[in-house]
Amino acid sequence: MKRPAVLITLSTLALAPLASAQDGKVMYEQLCGACHGNDGQGAQEGQFPPLADSAWIKGAPDRMIQVVLHGMMGEVTVPSKFAASPTYNLVMPPQGAALTSDQISKITTYVRTSWGNKEGVITVAMVEAQRKATDGKTDLWQANELLERYPLSASVKVPDENTLSVDVPIRDLLSYVYTGSWDRLPDWGKLKAQAVEEEHKGLIASSQAGKSQNFGLVWEGKVIAPKSGTFTFRIDSDDGSRVIVSGKKVAEINSNGGMGRATEGKISLKQGEHPIRIEYYNKGGGHGVTLGMKGPGLKGWFALSEAGAGKAGSGGGKKMPIYPLTNEAVIYRNFIEGTTPRGIGVGYHGGVNLAFSADNMSMDLLWTGNFMDGSKHWNGRGQGNQPPAGQKVLKVNQGPSFAVLESQTTKWPDTWQKEIKGRFHGYKFNARQEPTFFFTLGKLQVEDKPQALIGGNKFGLQRAITITAAEAAPREVHFRAASGLQVTDLGGGRYGLGDQAVLEIGKGASGKPYIRNNNELLIPLRLKRGENILNLRYTWN
Amino acid sequence: MNALTEFKIMRYLTPFLFAPVLASAAPTMADFYQREEIPLPPGEVMEGSSIAIIDKDKVALGTRRGDVWICHGAFGDVDKVKWTRFATGLHEPLGMAYRDGWFHFTQRPDVSKMRDTDGDGRADEFRTIAAPWGIKGDYHEYAFGTDPDKDGNIWVVLCLTGSFNAHSPWRGWCYRITPDGQSIPTCSGIRSPGGIGFNLEGDTFYCDNQGVWNGSSSLKHLKPGGFVGNPSGNIFYDQAPNMGKRPTEPKSGSRIEIERKRIPELVPPAVWLPHGDLGQSPTGVIPDHTKGLFGPFAGQVLVGEQTHSQVQRVFLEKINGVYQGVAFPFLEGFRSGIVPLRLADDGSLFVGTTNRGWGARGGLPFSFERTRWTGKTPFEILEMRIKPDGFELTFTEEIDPKTAGDKASYSMNSWTYIYQSSYGSPKVDQTKQEIVSVTVGADKKSVRLKVKNLQAGHAHHLQSKGVRSKSGRELWHQDAYYTINEFPAQ
């Protein structure tokens, strides 16, 4: 019979060392390939991090074994010529409890010796040593924690052919962190840095601020020109940036926008060290910066940023604007910064936007301009809160919007009181897709109808809250119109909210509104049987 | 070379060994099932998260970005379909059904329903039915929901915070939501669901992923009052008096089979889906309700797979009141990771796919595909039932008694997983079973295997390489994974 002969032949082959390499490849493709790609370049054109040419798998094997054993989460940069994104923020699931040390040794060795990777093998003993070193660890590594213990190799060496050799790309690199919300590079001279760090790797990265929005970074250090001549610097960023070498502005992108706007500039440099200053800011949405340098003595583009030397038109961090269609409103339900997780964003035609909390039955945010950027939630696993994309963001309220107060000095409760517990029931659209929200407060039925006010000299929101009571409700039900921001009584039923907007409270279902601690605006409700309407109008200054 | 080493080497070499020798005889999926990609509106991102059949012409696709699209002409020529956008602004609808003009759906924050009241083709009324659980802004806190069951209730399973902890109320729980918005805590012990649905009998099942307290992914029975394995959410028992007392805490490092004896509420996985062998991330659960329009597997359960982009097939049986059964590989080659799947009355299988955030085979970021039976019946093991002394296999067509009756045509080995608080588990307690004898049934479509060394709590991998049909065909799928929880008396 033919088959047994074939069996025997290949069984013999199986005893050869070839079997190990084959095991590693088979296991890699079965268990890892779906994310990292059978070619090691990251599946789906680099949506997932590459392993080929990756600094993460180079050098001492400890870090790599730790990632496989315990998994990892948090934002990372992956220096690799295949990295399609400045940063990745995914989760590598732990494998230590599901795979044996022998399997891990074979898979990691396969990775270290494939696709151009020329690193040493990882033995079973090495895996066992790493297990022992972290015996008792049950949680995933946070990326920044892991990198503190096992930093990526900083050696991005310039080839030495009668040139100055460099130990780090930018020497004596310091980063200064600033907080602020800008639409262009600010005047740094007028600002005070919050923090300063030494960046020993000599590479810049937008993640060095440790923030995701409304921040700026300035880096200063010394860059090396290996030979005298003309050098090109190429910068790309989300949002804006500027690179200054030897006091001369070489390139800048001075506006909001995503990656893919790479800009180059040239400068003549003598062989040796030159001061370099890079300025950067991020308003919201994704963030990133790449900086590369090209010129005499350098092979191709030399990376000065952790995310590599950058590409023309790289797509990482691109914004994904969500906007209403003409004469319609648009809804975005997701984690919006400034409201609760059950946040409902509404973008009205004309640039008036709000976020309603279906946990607190409360209009928590109001803003103008652009509605939302979907890129945080529509890339990768979509984690985190996304702030409003526009301007003049007014944090109107937090916490339950209605409460029963014994007196006007009783503290506002943090959670719903039983008798008036808020329960969200949904919303209905008018012909323009504009929602009216429905909810109950205990036995009270409420309709909350916001409408944008655009045109003339009124730019804001009209809001009608209709409360239907089956019977006369207790007199001490209060509505909290605003909290957590400065409130001033402007007279005539008008109240200043911060220094940004004015709230007019119509006469009707309410008793006299009152301010507490300059930061709370309460309206006692005189609820009659049947419908009670509260009219509110918010206008921006 | 000992048996275990030989087994390990054979396992890895098998695809290389047999493919060249038997390539000419090997059946392929295209012989039996035709898969088509349905063209999508250009420029739109439609990462499938839920599918509902509207009528004989229209199918609705819910997406991870919160849109619900309607495919018109979904049952005709795929090149002629038209798409309209019915709704936007949903919060990740993972479970959707169409009933009497309403779309019922489960999304991250709640169970809701929506409809178009003014007939303009767009939803304008959105009603929140219930929102008894907490969410804190962690993306892992997903909610998957079923169609309304025979009582009109929607079953929801709630992923743990970070897929590890219960940091928000009721993470790790299964709830039933009644049509008028009551919330009934129903099961505890969930970790990280990928999908939920019913078998043909109307019992509820869901897939949980390999992770903490889950040595491998599995299909689990949501038995009301039961604890399905992960104890992180059990801190909420005191707020669910209808569920009784909090179960004894499982001991990490043990086995489900052992802990079942200490913890009466513990419901063992009905069917292990061995990690790596049969996917890595199982998702949707649907019954084949078509009475034969999707091939010979009427009454069985289909399970989606997101990493390997496949559909697996499951035959379930209840032994001593406990669900167990067998998983077979079934369909593959989908263009991205399957999350929702839906079988229409006419036998059209629709799948929605995505690879964002969790890598998948297939090469596309998302797709919407339709698969139909060609009418040609594959030679497969149809059912595998446990007997006191082994198994009874039923085939889809008459077998060749010589090969099917030869015990050398079969081999079986088993293993289980450590039931532990760490993430996943290797295969452990590996055991080889002995096929003592094979008796061919009088109908020539079944065999009775007498097997020694069966193990409770193990996944039993049956390989039936030598079996041929009467017409000389080999099995389309030669692997089956039977999970034993109970032994029948007869």
DSSP string of A320-369?
-EE-PPTT--EEEES-BTTS-SSEEEEEETTTEEEEEETTTTEEEEEEES
The Cα–Cα gap between B462 and B353 comes to 30
Measured in angstroms, the CA of B211 and the nearest CA of chain A are apart by 8
Q: Which helix (H) or strand (E) holds A530?
A: strand A530-540
How confident is the model at residue A46, as a pLDDT? 66
Work out whether the CA dihedral B327, B328, B330, B333 comes out positive or negative: positive
Residue whose C-alpha is closest to residue A514's, from A372, A408, A397: A408
pLDDT of B155 reads 98
**CA–CA separation, B399 vs B405, rounded Å?**
9
The Cα A298–Cα A313 span in angstroms is 23
More confident residue, A16 or A521: A521
> Using CB atoms and an 8 Å cut-off, which of residues 377-416 of chain B contact chain A?
none
Token pair for residue A188? 């740094």
Are residues A27 and A107 in contact, defined by beta-carbon separation less than 8 angstroms?
yes
Are A262 and A235 in contact by the 8 Å Cβ rule? The answer is yes
Q: Which residues of B touch A344 (CB under 8 A)?
A: 89
Q: Is A93 on the interface with B (CB under 8 A)?
A: yes
Burial category of A488 from C-beta neighbours within 10 Å (exposed 0-12, middle 13-18, buried 19 and up)? middle
How far is A418 from A360, CA to CA, in rounded Å?
14
Q: Would you call B428 helix, strand, or coil by DSSP?
A: strand
Q: Are A123 and A105 in contact (CB under 8 A)?
A: yes
Residues from chain A contacting residue B17 (CB–CB below 8 Å): 6-7, 10
Give the whole-angstrom CA distance, residue A217 versus residue B428.
52
3-class DSSP state of B376: coil
Query: CA of A380 to nearest chain B CA: how many angstroms apart?
Result: 4
What would you measure as the largest C-alpha separation in chain B, in angstroms?
Answer: 74
Grouping H, G, I as helix, E, B as strand and the rest as coil, residue B177 is: strand
State the Cα–Cα distance between residues A27 and A249, nearest whole angstrom: 51
Residue closest to B210 by CA, chosen among A97, A26, A127: A97
Helix, strand or coil for residue A3? Answer: helix
Question: What are the residue ranges in chain B where pLDDT is below 50?
Answer: 1, 7, 10, 12-24
Determine the Cα–Cα distance for residues A56 and A49; give it in Å rounded to an integer.
Answer: 10
In this prediction the ipTM stands at: 0.91
Give me the phi and psi of A531, to 5 degrees please.
-85, 135
Whether residue B359 and residue A26 make contact (CB cut-off 8 A), yes or no, is: no
In chain A, the percentage of residues whose pLDDT exceeds 90 is 59
- At position A149, the amino acid (one-letter code) is R
Question: What is the sign, positive or negative, of the torsion defined by CA atoms of A138, A140, A145, A150?
Answer: positive
Phi-psi region of A454 (alpha: psi -120 to 50; beta: other; left: phi over 0): beta
The minimum CA-CA distance between A352 and chain B, rounded to whole Å, is 17
- Give B34→chain A minimum CA distance, Å: 24
- Quick one: CA torsion of A319, A361, B177, B305, rounded to 10 degrees? 10
What angle (nearest 5°) sits at the alpha carbon of residue B187, between those of residues B184 and B193? 110
Strand order through the sheet with A141-142: A91-92, A72-73, A141-142
Those of residues 289-318 in B touching chain A at CB distance below 8 A are: 307-308
Whether residue A239 is preceded by a cis peptide bond, meaning omega within 30 degrees of 0, is: yes
Dihedral sign for Cα atoms in the order B168, B174, B177, B178: negative
Instruction: Look up residue B484 and give its DSSP letter.
Output: P
Give the span between the Cα atoms of A142 and A149, in whole angstroms. Answer: 11
B369-420 pLDDT, tens per residue? 999 999 999 999 999 999 999 999 999 999 999 999 999 999 999 999 999 9
Q: From B417, which residue of chain A is nearest by alpha-carbon distance?
A: A98
The residues pairing with A142 across neighbouring beta strands, listed in sequence order, are A73
Q: What's the farthest any 2 CA atoms get from each other in chain A? A: 102
Confidence at A457, pLDDT banded by 50, 70, 90: low
pLDDT one-digit tens code per residue, B3-59: 555 545 545 444 444 444 444 468 999 999 999 999 999 989 999 999 999 999 999
CB contact under 8 A, A342 and B109: yes
The answer for residues whose C-beta is within 8 angstroms of residue A525's C-beta and 6 or more apart is A467, A473, A477, A478, A479, A509, A510, A511, A532, A534
In a 10 Å sphere around its CB, with 0-12 CB exposed, 13-18 middle and 19+ buried, how is residue B66 labelled? buried
B65 touches A at CB < 8 Å: yes
Residues A52, A36 contacting (CB under 8 angstroms): no
Distant-in-sequence, close-in-space partners of B171: CB < 8 Å, separation ≥ 6: B133, B134, B141, B158, B159, B160, B161, B165, B232, B233
Structural contact between residues A261 and A253, judged by C-beta atoms closer than 8 angstroms: yes
Cβ within 8 Å, pair B66-A429? no
Rounded Cα gap, residues B342 and B146, in angstroms: 12
The CA distance from B337 to B350, in Å, is 13
Q: Which two tokens stand for residue A399?
A: 């916490």
d(CA A139, CA A94): 9
Instruction: Tell me whether A336 touches chain B (CB under 8 Å).
Output: no
CA–CA dist B75, B343 (Å, integer): 12
Q: What is the value of pTM for the model shown?
A: 0.79
Q: What is the DSSP letter of B134?
A: -
What is the secondary structure of A263-294 as a DSSP string?
EEEEEEE-SEEEEEEEEEEE-SS--EEEEEEE
Across the range A89-116, mean pLDDT stands at 92
Contact A348, A434 (CB under 8 A): yes
Q: Kindly determine whether residue A98 and residue B88, on different chains, have CB atoms separated by under 8 Å.
A: no
Of A100, A342, A383, the CB nearest to B139: A383
Rounded Cα gap, residues B469 and B476, in angstroms: 11
How do A72-73 and A141-142 pair as beta strands?
parallel
Strand ranges for B100-243 from DSSP E:
102-106, 111-115, 125-130, 143-145, 154-158, 173-177, 183-188, 193-198, 204-208, 218-221
Q: Which of B66, B131, B424 sits opposite A97 (nearest CB)?
A: B424
Q: Point out which residues pair with A495 in neighbouring strands.
A: A489, A503
What's the gap in Å between the CA of A48 and the closest CA on chain B? 7
Phi/psi of residue A133, nearest 5 degrees: -60, -25
pLDDT exceeds 90 at position A381: no
Please check whether residue A74 touches B, CB under 8 A: no
Name the phi and psi angles at A66, rounded to 5: -60, -40
Q: Inspect the interface and report whether the beta carbons of B425 and A98 lie closer than 8 Å.
A: yes
CA angle B319, B321, B324 (to 5 degrees): 50
pLDDT for A309 equals 78
Report the half-sphere exposure of B45 (CA within 13 A, side-chain side): 12
Q: C-alpha distances in angstroms, A141 versus A48, A138, A533, B487?
A: 18, 9, 54, 43
Q: What are the two backbone dihedrals, phi and then psi, of residue A147, each rounded to the nearest 5 degrees? A: -70, -25
Measured CA to CA in angstroms, residue A527 lies from A446, A469, A477, A479, A520 at distances of: 12, 7, 8, 11, 21
Cβ <8 Å between B112 and A426: yes
Q: What angle do CA A299, A79, A29 make, to 5 degrees?
A: 120
Rounded Cα distance, B458 and A48, in Å? 34
**Chain A CB contacts of B107 below 8 Å:** 333
Give residues 426 to 455 of B whose Cβ lies within 8 Å of A.
426
Instruction: Check whether A318 has a pLDDT greater than 80.
Output: no
A440 interfacial to chain B (CB closer than 8 Å) = no
Instruction: For residue A16, name the pLDDT band (cuts at 50, 70, 90).
Output: very low
**Residues 6+ away with beta carbon under 8 Å from B430:** B4, B413, B414, B415
- A341/B136 CB distance under 8 A: yes
pLDDT for the residue A3: 35
A135-149 per-position pLDDT tens digit: 888 889 999 889 888
Tally of CB atoms within 10 A around B458: 27
* Both structure tokens of A448: 């909350």
CB contact, 8 Å: B332 with chain A?
no
Q: Are strands B427-440 and B479-483 parallel, antiparallel or unpaired?
A: unpaired
Least confident of A64-68, A225-229, B66-70: A225-229
A498 touches chain B (CB under 8 A): no
Out of B280, B357, B423, closest to residue A97 by CB: B423
Residue in chain A lying closest to B91 (CA): A333
